[in-house]
Amino acid sequence: MDNLKIIDTHAHYDDEAFDIDREELLSSLPEKGVKYIITQGISIEKSKSALLLADKYNYIYATVGVHPEDVNTVDLNSDWIEQLSKLLNHPKAVAVGEIGLDYHYDGYDKDKQILIFEEQLKLANKLNLPCVIHSRDATKDTITLLQKHKPKGVMHCFSGSVETAEIILNLGMYIGFTGVLTFKNAKKAVEACKKVPIDRLLLETDCPYMAPVPFRGKRCDSSMIIKTAKKAAEIKELPLDELIENCNNNAISLFKL
Ligand SMILES: [Zn+2]
């Protein structure tokens, strides 16, 4: 069944939800159908934690970046962008992420979010690295900045409209789907997934969040990604092994794994 091993392109294994059993869980994942994992950096400190996990496990890679909900950890008068740039020298740092815009909650200044997002897009382009993009309740501004900077990368945890998916695809980017695809009320994500060409599709968990059905509401981990893969195969009307092989190849090519 080795051909069915899946790359989880988006996970958060430094999250405190994994504090009780992180080592045991991570060690077990290769036997549970997981090929590689890309664990996400969300702040300077947490990017360091992500890189430590990548140091420890040969099947884990990491991203380095500041998430929109972590902009308050950044002192704009500091050398924060140089610090990120240095961390990206790590041989297993594969992308600038998780970065983007999130207008869902108050408390994360929009102008600061935009500034930090744009500086990181520029850094990714300068280093010729892909980006992992987060966008919540901020489609218009996110698209405007992606069209301005034209980064390589992926729009992660996609649940937007077909129209938005088409704009992302026209920019040459990939689209990542999580367990949301398996939710009963996920009609938009399913419609978008139908439209995404098989050579632009990525599978991800976003664990510990977004556990697919039948684990919805539980702590998610990368072994559950098979449920999302099965749903995507059904939507794309492809045999499961073919769907997985394509998504794995997309991840390998985008992130140079
Ligand atoms: Zn995430």
- Report the alpha-carbon distance of residue 142 to residue 106 in Å, rounded: 17
So what's the pLDDT on residue 225?
A: 98
- Please answer whether residues 215 and 183 qualify as being in contact, where contact means their C-beta atoms are separated by less than 8 angstroms: no
pLDDT value at residue 106: 85
Mean pLDDT score across all residues of the chain? 96
Ligand 1 geometric centre to CA of 10 (Å): 6
4 pLDDT exceeds 90?
A: no
Alpha-carbon span 13 to 105, nearest angstrom? 23
Report the distance separating Cα 248 and Cα 8, nearest Å.
Answer: 9
The enclosing H or E element of 35 equals: strand 34-39
Element (H, E) at 187: helix 187-195
- Say which residues have a Cβ less than 8 Å from residue 184's Cβ, sequence separation at least 6: 213
CA of 3 relative to ligand 1 center, distance in Å: 26
1 pLDDT higher than 80: no
Give the domain range for residue 80.
2-255
Cα 93 to the chain's mean position, in Å? 13
Looking at the predicted structure, is the pLDDT value of residue 76 above 60?
yes
- What is the pLDDT at residue 125? 98
Ligand 1 centre distance from Cα of residue 162 (Å): 21
Q: At what angle do helices 225-236 and 240-255 cross, to 10 degrees?
A: 110
> Chain centroid to CA 102: how far?
15
- Tell me, in angstroms, the distance from the centre of ligand 1 to residue 206's CA: 5
- Distance (Å) from CA 210 to ligand 1 centroid: 10
Tell me the pLDDT band of 60, cut-offs 50, 70 and 90.
very high
Helix (H, G, I), strand (E, B) or coil at 142: helix
**C-alpha span between 134 and 181 (Å, rounded):** 17
Give per-residue pLDDT as tens, 201-225: 999 999 999 999 999 999 999 999 9
Considering only CA atoms, which of 22, 85, 30 is closest in space to residue 53? Answer: 22
Q: Tell me the pLDDT tens digit for each residue of 18-47.
A: 999 999 999 999 999 999 999 999 999 999
SS3 label, residue 116: helix
Whole-angstrom Cα distance, residue 95 to residue 131?
A: 5
Produce one character per residue of 221-256: b if its CB has 16 or more CB atoms within 10 Å, e if not.
bbbbbbbbbbbbbebbeeeeeebbbbbbebbeebbe
Domain holding 95: CATH number? 3.20.20.140
What tens digit of pLDDT does each residue of 114-167 get? 999 999 999 999 999 999 999 999 999 999 999 999 999 999 999 999 999 999
Is 229:203 a contact under the CB 8 Å cutoff? yes
CA of 136 to the centre of ligand 1 (A): 11
Cβ atoms within 10 Å, residue 165: 23
Per residue in 90-118, pLDDT (tens digit) is: 999 999 999 999 999 888 999 999 999 99
How many domains are contained in the chain? 1
Distance 95 CA to ligand 1 centre (A): 13
